[in-house]
Amino acid sequence: MSDPTFATLVSRWYERNARDLPWREPGIGAWAILVSEVMLQQTPVVRVVPAFQAWLARWPEPRALAEDTPAEAIRMWGRLGYPRRAVRLRECAVAIVERHGGVVPDRLDQLLALPGVGTYTARAVAAFAYGQRHPVVDTNVRRVVCRAIAGEPDAGPTTRPADLVATEELLPIEPAAAALASAAFMELGAVVCTARAPRCAICPVESSCAWRASGQAAPTGPTRRPQRYAGTDRQVRGLLLAVLRESTGPVPHQRLDQVWHDDVQRARALAGLVTDGLVEPVGEESFRLAGDGPAVPLP
């Protein structure tokens, strides 16, 4: 068992230094926290904040989103990236209404059963919305635990079961304190124990950090190979979606043909959007955002 003061030290630091983010406001609610966690996947905080605020202003509870169309969810998602998350979040809202009376469940098994909710997101909602004791492990948390406890400079690209075990061992027994520690570990990795430029001099556990004691240097180069965007199918998909988002009805195929010069790549990107449930054909010559039509109220 690691030093039991570790979580206390990091939690105290967090209470003094945590960033002021809208999903951390007191009483923000489980739905808002779920939305923030979905939006924050692979997306920087600075881009998420305005999108999160606009989303909650329009759909402050699951039922409001569930009763709107998938197309409107895609439109509101805008250029946040990975727009399938918008569709899955709406599917999640529908499931919350149908299975749980419109209230985000507090049981881990029920959270895991929601569409698009995985191991990390379910535990994050259980901890941050309901104050439960669960290891909430993302890239930042894995890095903190790997460095401070295991003495290694990097934690690798994916979360393993051993990471959940190692993080849970650091959590206080009392659920509320454990939930606070989970948020604190994440914040420490995001702003202090960063991948390539850690700010060890201001770290609350610098004196006991196993990695600092080992004398190993931080890894050089990117943690993962940067994904090229220009000229990829992702870029073409984004251009096609931009046209469809701005339209209030079906868009003729000829209009979509204008967004990209390569016929084969454009057709492949459009087919991918249809397969992913983001776009649907209207007749033989037009397309629209999925479910773009009058909203149908749920029972």
Query: With 90 as the cut, is the pLDDT of residue 267 above it?
Result: yes
Question: Where residue 293 falls among pLDDT bands split at 50, 70, 90?
Answer: confident
Tens digit of each residue's pLDDT (9 = 90 or more) over 213-237: 998 877 765 555 656 778 899 999 9
pLDDT of residue 2: 45
286-289 β-sheet, strand order: 251-252, 286-289, 279-282
The DSSP element (H or E) to which 280 belongs, if any, is strand 279-282
Q: Angle CA(274)–CA(277)–CA(283) in degrees, nearest 5?
A: 50
Q: What percentage of the chain carries pLDDT values higher than 70?
A: 95
72 is catalytic: no
pLDDT of residue 221: 57
Tens digit of each residue's pLDDT (9 = 90 or more) over 86-113: 999 999 999 999 999 999 999 999 999 9
Tell me the pairing of strands 286-289 and 251-252: antiparallel
Q: Give the span between the Cα atoms of 59 and 197, in whole angstroms.
A: 38
User: 281 — phi, psi (to 5°)?
Assistant: -75, 150
Q: Give the span between the Cα atoms of 171 and 38, in whole angstroms.
A: 24
Tens digit of each residue's pLDDT (9 = 90 or more) over 57-93: 999 999 999 999 999 999 999 989 899 999 999 999 9
Two tokens, residue 76: 């509101």
pLDDT of residue 194: 94
List of residues 6+ apart from 30 with CB closer than 8 A: 103, 104, 106, 125, 129, 130
**Which residue of the set 37, 72, 91, 187 is catalytic?**
37
Question: Where residue 1 falls among pLDDT bands split at 50, 70, 90?
Answer: very low
- In this structure, are residues 6 and 170 in contact, taking their beta carbons and an 8 Å threshold? yes
Q: What is the number of residues in the chain?
A: 299
Give the amino acid at 130: Y
Tens digit of each residue's pLDDT (9 = 90 or more) over 8-18: 999 999 999 99
